Amino acid sequence: MKTIDTYNFNGQKAIIRVDFNVPIKDGIITDDTRIRAALPTIQKILNDGGAVVLMSHLGRPKGGPEEKYSLKPVAVHLQKLLPNKIHFVEDCIGPKALEAKTRLNFGEVLLLENLRFHKEEEAGDEMFSRDLASGMDVYVNDAFGTAHRAHASTTIIAQFFPNNKMFGYLMEKELAAMDKVLHNAESPSLAIIGGAKVSSKIEVIENLLSRVDTMIIGGGMAFTFFKAMGKNIGKSLVEDDHLETARKIMHKAKERGIELLLPIDSLNASEFSNDAQTNITNIDNIPSDMMGLDIGPKTIDLFDNIIRSSKTILWNGPMGVFEMEKFMKGTLEIAKSIAKATEEGAFSLVGGGDSVAAVNQFNLENKISYVSTGGGAMLEYMEGKVLPGVAAIRS
Ligand code: AMP
């Protein structure tokens, strides 16, 4: 398999699938993290003496052009970040796109208009993919967030570059971080799974149960486990149709000798509101008219001890309703413990929309070994699934 580092792009035109799905308000990009994240791959190709064609989706257009989903502002922004000439073309396929690709000089960049202005992108259409590939010598995929979709630009296009396809730096880093946790974890290894529902994470939990030494389950989903154990959980969130799922998970953990840890105390609230009356009780004493919205202080201490003695840590899903200030502490303290463990030499990987948002909100992103950019793609990879966008390069 070719890698971006060992490939010489001199005299080559490379098409890169990037993730430029950035927030734009009134034509202004309000967060350019994803654009800046793509720069190392773009610069490597340009510095080698190659030319770069960029393709991405933006938002959810309905299959035709829509001004508010145009990538044009991204081209303008990119020109502020790179000294090289940036061109933009108002379609990603067809004669205009081909002409722009043909005219493109080495050392220059061409950004194609939003891929999803054509419904063929998400349909994984072969003719559309061929059109994207036309005039190009190399295909680079650097958009991990869409790697779980067999779209034209993420998967189907790869077949037109049987000997010249590779991952970009971002995607290489992302895969290396996840493979480290899944296949190469230094012991003791720990997975911390939280969030609202166990139903959305059953497969992740099951796959991780054969890969880690310890698993912590926190957040709303823990109450389905407590109810399955016969405990009174008051008005806490519960999935009654998944009590059996919870029992099976506990059974599997026991069978495999994996320590499964649940909260031991709870911060309870009279209602789902930041203005609610609250109290802290042991997990066995949640009042019938209250709901657990965060882990309690004893749990924070218990989890901190486990985290700080782990060498590999994966975290997905908050420990409580961290969006409300009153119920943020559990998630904050867990994030801090992971940051400390990382400082002390552990490898940590945080992924999933809410845990990443929490880490960013607490300004801890630079204290975690790797913060994953791909929510859905990361979960599927962690479930042990083969992602089409990854398989298309590796095959
Ligand atoms: P998920 O998308 O499954 O990772 O769930 C994230 C959501 O779970 C966040 O919006 C949290 O507010 C929510 N959550 C975490 N703990 C609880 C809890 N104890 N009760 C209700 N919701 C929770």
Q: How confident is the model at residue 357 (pLDDT cuts 50, 70, 90)?
A: confident
Residue 309 pLDDT > 90, yes or no?
Answer: yes
Both tokens of 341, joined, read: 């463990």
pLDDT at 375: 80
- Residues 155 and 221 grouped into a single domain: no
Q: Across residues 364-377, what is the average pLDDT? A: 90
CB atoms within 10 A of CB 137: 15
pLDDT tens-place string over residues 159-208 = 999 999 999 999 999 999 999 999 999 999 999 999 999 999 999 999 99
- Residues 151 and 196 grouped into a single domain: no
Pocket test for ligand 1, best of 223, 237, 329 (most atoms within 8 A of CB): 237
pLDDT at 248: 97
Q: How confident is the model at residue 21 (pLDDT cuts 50, 70, 90)?
A: very high
Q: Across residues 242-261, what is the average pLDDT? A: 96
- Residues 228 and 332 grouped into a single domain: yes
- 327-358: b (≥16 Cβ within 10 Å) or e: bbbbbbbbbbbbbebbeeebbbbbbbebbbeb
Decide: 354 in ligand 1 pocket, CB within 6 A: yes
Cα 238–242–245 angle (5° rounding)? 130
- Residues 114 and 206 grouped into a single domain: no
Give the domain CATH number at 160.
3.40.50.1260
pLDDT at 330: 97
Judge whether 131 lies within some domain: yes
- Residues 155 and 212 grouped into a single domain: no
- Residues 77 and 212 grouped into a single domain: no
Judge whether 27 lies within some domain: yes
Task: Write the residue with the smallest CA distance to atom 21 of ligand 1.
Answer: 220
Residue 142 pLDDT > 80, yes or no?
Answer: yes
Residue 353 pLDDT > 80, yes or no?
Answer: no
Judge whether 327 lies within some domain: yes
Judge whether 330 lies within some domain: yes
Judge whether 275 lies within some domain: yes
Judge whether 391 lies within some domain: no
pTM for this prediction = 0.90
> Which one of the listed residues 252, 376, 384, 385 is annotated catalytic?
376
Judge whether 394 lies within some domain: no
Task: Write the residue with the smallest CA distance to atom 17 of ligand 1.
Answer: 220
322 CA: nearest ligand 1 atom = 12
pLDDT tens-place string over residues 36-87 = 999 999 999 999 999 999 999 999 999 899 999 999 999 999 999 999 999 9
Structural domain ending residue among the three candidates 150, 167, 184: 167
- Residues 273 and 192 grouped into a single domain: yes
- Residues 150 and 186 grouped into a single domain: no
Structural domain ending residue among the three candidates 167, 200, 215: 167
Decide: 324 in ligand 1 pocket, CB within 6 A: no
pLDDT at 230: 97
Residue 33 pLDDT > 90, yes or no?
Answer: no
- Residues 33 and 84 grouped into a single domain: yes
- Beta bridge partners, 169, equal none
DSSP state of 156: G
Nearest to 109 by CA among 43, 158, 167, 174: 43
The alpha carbon of 196 and the centre of ligand 1 are apart by a number of angstroms equal to 4
64 given a catalytic annotation: no
Q: What is the mean pLDDT of the chain?
A: 96
Q: How confident is the model at residue 93 (pLDDT cuts 50, 70, 90)?
A: very high
Structural domain ending residue among the three candidates 149, 167, 185: 167
- Residues 161 and 259 grouped into a single domain: no
Contact 379, 144 (CB under 8 A): no
Overall number of domains in the chain: 2
Judge whether 389 lies within some domain: no
Both tokens of 255, joined, read: 């069978």
pLDDT at 227: 98
Q: How far apart are CA 296 and CA 222, in angstroms?
A: 13
- Residues 191 and 300 grouped into a single domain: yes
Q: Euclidean distance between the first and final Cα of the chain, in Å?
A: 9
Contact 250, 198 (CB under 8 A): no
The domain containing residue 151 runs over which residues? 13-167
The alpha carbon of 280 and the centre of ligand 1 are apart by a number of angstroms equal to 18
Both tokens of 86, joined, read: 């940036």
- Residues 114 and 155 grouped into a single domain: yes
Both tokens of 26, joined, read: 């009134």
Q: Across residues 269-289, what is the average pLDDT? A: 98
Residue 373 pLDDT > 80, yes or no?
Answer: no
Q: How confident is the model at residue 271 (pLDDT cuts 50, 70, 90)?
A: very high
CB atoms within 10 A of CB 127: 11
